[in-house]
Structure 1
Amino acid sequence: MARPLFYRHMIPFAILAVLHIFAIAQDDRSNGNLEERDALDALKVSFSDPFLNSNWTGFPCNTSTTDPPKWYGIQCVNGRVTSILLEDMKLSGNINDDVLLRFSELSILSFKNNSIWGNLMNFSNNQQMKHIDLSGNMFYGPISPTLLNLNLLETMLLQDNGLTGQIPEFKQSGLKEFNVSNNNLVGVIPSTPTLQAFGSDSYSGNPGLYGLPPQNSFFYSSIFFTTNNDAEKSNAVKRTSNNLQTLFLVSSVVLLLAVILLSILYSKKARKLKRMTKENVIFKKIEDEDDKIEAGEKGAIVGEERGGLVLLQAEAKFEMGDLLKASAEALGEGIFGMSYKAKLNNGPAIVVKRLKDLKPLTGEEFSKQLHLIADLKHPNLLFLLAYYNTKDEKLLLYKYAEKGNLFFRIHGGRGGDRIPFKWSSRLSVARGVGRALEYLHLNTKSQIIVPHGNLKSTNVVLDENDKILVSDYGLSSLIALPVAAQRMVVYKSPEYQYAKKVSKQSDVWSYGCLLLELLTGKVSAYTAPVGVNGVDICSWVNRAVREEWTAEIIDPEICVHRSASPGMLRLLQIAMMCTERSPEKRPEMTNVVREVENLSIVESDDGDEDDVSLDKSLTDDSVSTSASGIIGD
């Protein structure tokens, strides 16, 4: 009877122990729920989105596994948050980098296609993470090294942001999707098998990034992932060789068929193309031999039309015959059309712009507008040397700038063999562009409503002596309005968005955006070249000032110079004044130039790098409190 009595006394204790353990587990789960709810509440406050404010109430996870989640975009398992999916919701806000630390069971995170900014999050406590999609936002700063420790990671999409710095050495063998394109990353792509297995599309749109893997990385990755066994290596190489042979054979057949088809379809055009290639000309439509003969005659003078060519400057010492013999090199396509570099025999290089999408102007109207542009003379303007005008072809000819454009000077080669773009040089650019724009505003004819119309870093060039020259001015009256509204910078100004009007003050706004690009080193979304994504610099800087993280504004390449920080602050204030949303609040270019001219170039710009932190004046609220009064009437 002793044993049954003993068990009768032990059973209640066992039941109590089980209940106690269950209660502890429930408490732990409840504590996890509370911490996760607090973290989600912090996200809700950052976004301040009306829909989330009304939907995210109570507890995010149900205790019952059969009930659907309570909160939009939140998925739970056993009362813990495992997925946060907030895509295409137009969310905006600055989120803290520690916002994910409480979600230890989180495996899926997507903020795709919103307007969220801040540094990338700390993922050190998210070891279950498999899928991350932060593409199409405004995240900045370096890629978080905590991502390297996510061993289960399968997807990481960070494209179309403003990330900077170098790509960490990701080695997760399970990473199947990876994309960091269209950021501001620099340096060499790490040679880890994981990263080299992805094609160049995963890295494109980063001007300072180099060492791109091949577009088709199958063969590269197949060699990288062979084992250490010699026999297996030999078999892998043989298989790769057979694959290559098969691929080349198929490619040859396809190419042959394509050539035959193109020969049939374009036989008529082939003779014309052959003739153009033989003569090596850049003009594609010169209609008769009489024009060619007349154009080749010597003695062309300024203002006289010879076979469609009109010289506008005395330094234009070439004739149509010289251009017909020039070697041509495509430079790229802008909003007005394709541009070429034409190297004259025993002469200078000329830039030839082929115009497209023009208004239906008569020959007289077209000529009058270009003569007005040619009459504008200033040391910081790139003169229009000549133009070519026939029924089917319209060309503009400029002197070639040997040292390229300002966009490449600011953004090109970062992380490689780059010559630093010093503060003194950037201030010289601000002055030169300001002087040119002031001249245009004071000297253009009344019918030119917007003297420049397309001021951006790609339209500021440097000659062989590093002289600052502004190009593509005065052309807004030539291009058709629907095309101009879609492509030209002034039509991206705030006043055009709400009032469909542009003016000289729209040029001032463009100049302010250019100053911000000089100061921040960021690619502007308003002026980014085709294929390059940028950020809304105006909004980003204003948020930085409002949130008091202005130390992040200045380009690290120049912020190391403490003695120059007062000048940087002053120029930042001027830029913010120029980019006021209301055009009536923006200063005139004459006042802007006066303020920029008053900034001093610090003599110790080369060696003052002992302290990489900014001067206090760039990190307090002096930017916002004094910006409104920096420029007088």
Structure 2
Amino acid sequence: MASPLNCRMRFSMPLKHFLVLHLLVLCKKIIAEDVPNDFRGNEREALLALVAGFNNPFFHSNWTSIMCYKNDPPYWFGIECSDGRVTGVKLENMGLIGEIKIDSLFNLTELSFLSLKGNTISGQMLDFSNNQKLTEINLSYNKFDGSIPLSLLSLNSLVSLQLQNNNLSGSIPLFNQTSLRQFNVSYNNLSGAIPNTAVLQSFNKYSYIGNPKLCGPPSNSECNSKNDTYDNTNGGDNKSKVPFSSPIWIVVNIVALVVILFLFIIYFKKYKMLKKRLEEKHILYGDKFEEKNDHKINIENRGKRVAEAAAEGEERGKLVFINNQERQFELDDLLKASAEGLGKGNFGNCYKAMLESGPIVVVKRLRDLKPLSSEEFMKQVRVIAEQKHPNLLSLLGYYYSKDEKLLLYKFASNGNVYNRLHEGKGKPTRIPFRWSSRLSVARGVGRALEHLHLNAKSPNLVPHGNLKLSNVLLDENNNVLVTDYGLTSIVSSPLASQRTISYRAPEYQNNKKVSKKSDIWSYGCLLLELVTGRVSADSAPPGTNAVDLCSWVHRAVREEWTAEIFDVEIAVQRSANHGMLKLLQVAMRCCERLPENRPEISEVLREVESIVATADSEDDEEFSSIDQSLTEEYMSTPSRNSTIGESQ
């Protein structure tokens, strides 16, 4: 039989295209035997109907050919498969705009997971009557309107329903499925009384906040009128209502308007007096903007919570420095410092504070925390502060009050690795991110992760939990510093499962478990992003064009176009070919779908440390791709092949 290289010379088309074509023909024949045509065709039509209203060119180029084959990784982006059937749809934070037909899901009868969160999808919600196997639905952070569909009540296996931050109206249906563990309809336009079912009453007020017309427990608003109770019945006539056009209503409205105007005048006068007093104490309130060289620096609500506490007579918190470090500044110095927004993270916003006399520090303003007391918060923070390693960004101090929690870190002047890898690509002003620098990042992150794993307080604890390139920083000497570690211990668990990387590992999707092996999976995704130069869908910012790197790389190896995996910035460095291939092998082992098949971090680090860093040379750029013989040598090793077999 002719080798793949001989086939490349014998056919005029490129080997990649030939193999893809051959694979598609073969798969089509096999699937025709294994999956009934009606199932396959109906599910394909349903998926295409689901995205038809978006008119997004991404689906035209990526949703082609077959979707699923047995238990192979799905062939379509954002799709999950089992036994050749579609079981999940995950199209999160893709900037999708448009409407979805209500009956788009009718033919996806095996669907158990649906997530369209973080887009701009409008229109009425879907009909779930034919999707009886659904366990998780996440349509949050969109623009769905209309009422919550009653078809959701028939889903007896429903575990999680996330509908927050939409434009839904009407009353809440009588959910009473005992399987329901997560429920959130906050920040909509819902009205009426919250139904008194055991399930709905088991969730706290944060599942319902942001709906001004919603009343009754567990919310803080009482239902004072019959109209509130009526809104929750979804039917019936209310003939006792007084017409809005009657004289009584006109008088009532005029009186109410006068009262509101009077109260507003009193409030405004008190506000001016309070603002003047606070400014005398150098406490800033509200959103401020400073003009510097025609550049606006946004200081978001700097000192707002402290001012509120002072206005209510509460005791101000205390700025605490870790490990009895010498106090270099006070809280007032920090509040008066000029600040610059560095970005919004999963656990809070970060600011660069430039003190008048003192160091430049980063202030992380925490949000969505567990309801911890002062002692519990300080205990958790000190556990984080005890982690000392050259590749971990050390915690300088913290501030705790009732309404404000801050963490203070040293400022890393060279930014984060995500920006270093992806920003400015293709522009003449970009400084290439060479192989030796990427390998240095892989080693630094691996060393930090090993330290966290070996010093974890519990064997099942996820020591980092949110490992991604944007949480890897470079200081003034380009030393690698990992940040955001340990924060999952103080963040609300439902929010951690939505926002952190470890919870996107395959084992959490299957059995809702995370462990140290979830960190290993995140580390593998980070390595794949370093060697491919592509943005990982699991850690991509909203609106970014990203791919499922694990599935994409496995498919590339399976279809024998491995040489095209690597980022062109390092692929031209011929002397680094061996190292890049070895790091790719390590990454693929870390990305095994089964946690037990992933190596421990110490074993992973030994392999990464053994990779020889070659000197970056401009002479390498005359070579346009990796030597095909090297690709075959490294990708056909027994250990590598067994790994791929297990992942399938």
Fold match (TM-score > 0.5): yes
Q: Show the 5 A alignment for 1:100-499.
A: 112=59, 116=63, 267=268, 275=278, 279-280=283-284, 282-286=302-306, 307-313=317-323, 314=325, 317-416=328-427, 417-446=429-458, 449-499=461-511
- Aligned AA (1:462): L
Aligned mate of 1:579, from 555, 579, 591:
591
Change (3 A) 1:347 1:491: same
Change (3 A) 1:86 1:521: same
Q: How far apart are residue 465 of structure 1 and its match?
A: 1.0
Kept in 1, the 8 Å contact 2:527–2:583? The answer is yes
Kept in 2, the 8 Å contact 1:86–1:112? The answer is no
What is the DSSP-based 3-state SS (H/G/I as helix, E as strand, rest coil) of the residue aligned with 2:305? coil
CA–CA distance in 2 between the matches of 1:265 and 1:509? 58
Kept in 2, the 8 Å contact 1:565–1:617? The answer is no
CA–CA distance in 2 between the matches of 1:289 and 1:468? 40
Q: How far apart are residue 555 of structure 1 and its match?
A: 0.4
- Aligned AA (2:575): S
What is the DSSP-based 3-state SS (H/G/I as helix, E as strand, rest coil) of the residue aligned with 1:382? coil
Kept in 2, the 8 Å contact 1:326–1:344? The answer is yes
Normalised TM-score (structure 1): 0.57
Q: How far apart are residue 601 of structure 1 and its match?
A: 0.8
Kept in 2, the 8 Å contact 1:343–1:350? The answer is yes
Change (3 A) 1:111 1:439: closer
Q: How far apart are residue 318 of structure 1 and its match?
A: 2.2
Change (3 A) 1:586 1:285: same
1:138-177 residue CA offsets vs partner (Å, 9 max, x unmatched)? 9xxxxxxxxxxxxxxxxxxxx969xxxxxxxxxxxxxxxx
Q: Show the 5 A alignment for 1:56-135.
A: 87-88=48-49, 112=59, 116=63
Change (3 A) 1:271 1:351: farther
Q: How far apart are residue 504 of structure 1 and its match?
A: 0.7
Aligned mate of 1:54, from 37, 40, 49:
37
Kept in 1, the 8 Å contact 2:583–2:608? The answer is yes
Change (3 A) 1:460 1:519: same
What is the DSSP-based 3-state SS (H/G/I as helix, E as strand, rest coil) of the residue aligned with 1:449? coil
Change (3 A) 1:51 1:88: farther
What is the DSSP-based 3-state SS (H/G/I as helix, E as strand, rest coil) of the residue aligned with 2:465? coil
The residue number in structure 2 matching 1:522 is 534
- Aligned AA (2:436): S
Change (3 A) 1:309 1:290: farther
Change (3 A) 1:315 1:48: farther
CA–CA distance in 1 between the matches of 2:399 and 2:33? 57
1:344-401 residue CA offsets vs partner (Å, 9 max, x unmatched)? 1122221111111111112111100111111111000001111110111111111111
What is the DSSP-based 3-state SS (H/G/I as helix, E as strand, rest coil) of the residue aligned with 1:354? strand
Q: How far apart are residue 512 of structure 1 and its match?
A: 0.5
The residue number in structure 2 matching 1:609 is 621
Kept in 2, the 8 Å contact 1:114–1:137? The answer is no
**Superposition CA RMSD, Å:** 4.2
Kept in 2, the 8 Å contact 1:569–1:617? The answer is no
Change (3 A) 1:329 1:265: farther
CA–CA distance in 2 between the matches of 1:358 and 1:319? 25
The residue number in structure 2 matching 1:597 is 609
CA–CA distance in 1 between the matches of 2:29 and 2:305? 59
Normalised TM-score (structure 2): 0.56
CA–CA distance in 2 between the matches of 1:293 and 1:109? 52
What is the DSSP-based 3-state SS (H/G/I as helix, E as strand, rest coil) of the residue aligned with 2:466? coil
Change (3 A) 1:51 1:284: farther
1:77-98 residue CA offsets vs partner (Å, 9 max, x unmatched)? xxxxxxx99824799xxxxxxx
Change (3 A) 1:49 1:466: farther
Change (3 A) 1:383 1:110: closer
Kept in 1, the 8 Å contact 2:284–2:303? The answer is no
Change (3 A) 1:497 1:50: farther
Change (3 A) 1:54 1:270: farther
What is the DSSP-based 3-state SS (H/G/I as helix, E as strand, rest coil) of the residue aligned with 1:386? strand
5+ residue gaps, structure 2, are 1-20, 66-75, 79-92, 96-118, 120-260, 286-301, 644-648
Kept in 2, the 8 Å contact 1:490–1:506? The answer is yes
Change (3 A) 1:441 1:72: closer
What is the DSSP-based 3-state SS (H/G/I as helix, E as strand, rest coil) of the residue aligned with 1:609? helix
Change (3 A) 1:392 1:614: same
Q: How far apart are residue 436 of structure 1 and its match?
A: 0.4
- Aligned AA (2:393): L
What is the DSSP-based 3-state SS (H/G/I as helix, E as strand, rest coil) of the residue aligned with 2:403? coil
Change (3 A) 1:371 1:447: farther
Q: How far apart are residue 448 of structure 1 and its match?
A: 7.4
Q: Once structures 1 and 2 are overlaid, which stretch shifts more, 478-487 or 348-357?
A: 348-357
CA–CA distance in 2 between the matches of 1:607 and 1:264? 74
Change (3 A) 1:557 1:285: same
- Aligned AA (2:63): I
Q: How far apart are residue 461 of structure 1 and its match?
A: 0.6
Q: How far apart are residue 42 of structure 1 and its match?
A: 5.5
Q: How far apart are residue 510 of structure 1 and its match?
A: 0.5
CA–CA distance in 1 between the matches of 2:327 and 2:49? 54
Aligned mate of 1:537, from 544, 549, 555:
549
Kept in 2, the 8 Å contact 1:462–1:469? The answer is yes
Q: How far apart are residue 292 of structure 1 and its match?
A: 12
The residue number in structure 2 matching 1:103 is none
Kept in 1, the 8 Å contact 2:473–2:482? The answer is yes
Instruction: Tell me the matched-pair count.
Output: 409
Kept in 2, the 8 Å contact 1:451–1:474? The answer is yes
CA–CA distance in 2 between the matches of 1:265 and 1:562? 74
CA–CA distance in 1 between the matches of 2:566 and 2:611? 17
CA–CA distance in 2 between the matches of 1:324 and 1:476? 27
Change (3 A) 1:494 1:617: farther
Percent identical residues = 52
The residue number in structure 1 matching 2:515 is 503
CA–CA distance in 1 between the matches of 2:315 and 2:497? 39
Larger Rg: 1
Kept in 1, the 8 Å contact 2:564–2:625? The answer is no
Change (3 A) 1:269 1:558: farther
Change (3 A) 1:279 1:56: closer
CA–CA distance in 2 between the matches of 1:289 and 1:110? 53
CA–CA distance in 2 between the matches of 1:434 and 1:279? 42
The residue number in structure 2 matching 1:15 is none
CA–CA distance in 1 between the matches of 2:397 and 2:537? 32
Change (3 A) 1:290 1:507: same
What is the DSSP-based 3-state SS (H/G/I as helix, E as strand, rest coil) of the residue aligned with 1:366? helix
Change (3 A) 1:374 1:618: same
Matching of residue 45 in structure 1 with residue 28 in structure 2? yes
CA–CA distance in 1 between the matches of 2:342 and 2:432? 25
